[in-house]
Amino acid sequence: MADHVRMTSPMLKAMTHPLRRRIVSLMRHDQPMRAVDLARQLDVPANSVSFHLRTLAEAGMIVEAPEHARDRRDRVWVAAGDGFSVPDPGTLGEEDEPALRAYLDQAGIDLQQLVRNAMLWAVEWSSGRDEVQRAALSLGTLSATRAEMDQFVEELEAVVRRLRQRLHETEPEDGQVRQDWDFLTVVAEADLGRAPAGEAGSAPRATAASPGSADR
């Protein structure tokens, strides 16, 4: 399995563009993709996707996979790792901090819109105006040690990896159509932002598309 990649300054800068974040969210290290495939899923011109793929490749977010190409003109890409995370504690240089802040600011906007859309749908669901299950909302609090929460996060990530692999290897049941589902997992201290930080813990993992979520 490919490694989990800690994002560098060039990666963070590349990921401030919303279309690039969506492209990376659809890519895997073990599933070759072409610009035309991504363009079809994202409903954007293939030449635009090609441009952003080259930018992502220059930043190290994706790599070319010529072994899957049909001919010399066929460009095929895979994600550079099985997930992307913010830099390790103490490894972020002062010159890199603006890039990280810019990326997280833009990713935060994406997530705020995702949560807002889910909340608005919940009203439609509860009122009976929409009977189609379009989202799932779950909020709660756990009392656990830092080590126990680290294990919890690892288990969540393992569940997502297993599901992605199973979906990749199987076809949907007859009459069923697969579609894209955005998801967000945030694990944080209940008083984060409301009290002085305690002892340093593990850096939160974050996918390029969804900070705080499990692997892509």
Measured distance CA(167)–CA(192) in Å, rounded: 36
Q: pTM here? A: 0.72
Which of 146, 24, 41 lies closest to 78, judged by CA?
A: 24
The answer to whether the CB of 105 falls within 8 A of the CB of 82 is no
> Cα–Cα distance between 209 and 183 in angstroms, integer?
9
Question: Cβ distance 12 to 211 under 8 Å?
Answer: no
From first to last of the 216 residues of the chain, give the pLDDT tens digit.
457 788 999 999 999 999 999 999 899 888 899 999 999 999 999 999 999 999 999 999 999 999 998 988 899 999 998 888 888 888 888 888 998 999 999 889 988 999 999 999 999 999 999 999 999 988 889 999 999 999 999 999 889 889 988 988 899 988 898 888 888 888 899 888 875 555 555 544 444 443 333 333
CA-based nearest residue to 212, from 137, 138, 157 = 157
Q: Which domains does the chain have, with CATH numbers?
A: 4-85 (1.10.10.10)
Phi-psi region of 167 (alpha: psi -120 to 50; beta: other; left: phi over 0): alpha
Could you report how far apart the first and last alpha carbons of the chain are, in Å? 13
